[in-house]
């Protein structure tokens, strides 16, 4: 990876104590110096921010992290699907990879046990997002080399 490669990392602030662990995992592979962090209120705000970041020309990939849980009032599966669809659209519209670390557990309970599990899981998902970001950049470089 070239040192001038830049990444944007968008974090939803709902359950920030869990979501922030994804950034921790991501920066175990990608140096912090190559990552700009952007906080948004919640998952629903991520696609717009991702599109704007991808379109600005500064970033080689945008990673978005959120934890969408059943709040008892709204359908969390609807929110999660809308977010993932929006992130995919942002990448397709801009030509910049937009990666999702958006998790939607079926049975989340705000207990120490569940929170410990999900904090650890978000570290792993952040590591996987870093590998995916590097992998898609390498694949696209290979495509450009073959097309030239």
Q: How many residues comprise the chain?
A: 148
Question: Is residue 75 among the annotated active site residues?
Answer: yes
The Cα–Cα gap between 137 and 131 comes to 10
51, 75, 89, 140: which one is catalytic? 75
Closest CA to 12 of 40, 36, 38, 52: 40
The Cα–Cα gap between 93 and 118 comes to 32
Neighbours of 54 (CB within 10 A): 23
The Cα–Cα gap between 11 and 64 comes to 6
Paired tokens of 68: 């969408």
Paired tokens of 38: 């952007």
List, by residue number, the catalytic residues.
75
């Amino acid at each position: 990876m070239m040192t001038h490669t830049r990444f944007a990392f968008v974090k939803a602030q709902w359950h920030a104590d869990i979501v922030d662990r994804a950034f921790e995992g991501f920066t175990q592979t990608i140096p912090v110096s190559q990552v700009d962090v952007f906080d948004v209120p919640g998952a629903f705000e991520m696609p717009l921010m991702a599109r704007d970041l991808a379109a600005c020309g500064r970033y080689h990939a945008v990673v978005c992290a959120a934890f969408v849980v059943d709040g008892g009032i709204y359908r969390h599966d609807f929110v999660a699907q809308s977010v993932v669809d929006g992130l995919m659209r942002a990448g397709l519209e801009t030509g910049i990879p937009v990666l999702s670390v958006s998790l939607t557990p079926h049975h989340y309970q705000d207990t120490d046990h569940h929170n410990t599990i999900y904090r650890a899981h978000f570290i792993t998902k952040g590591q996987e997002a870093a590998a995916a970001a590097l992998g898609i950049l390498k694949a696209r470089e290979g495509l450009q080399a073959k097309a030239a």
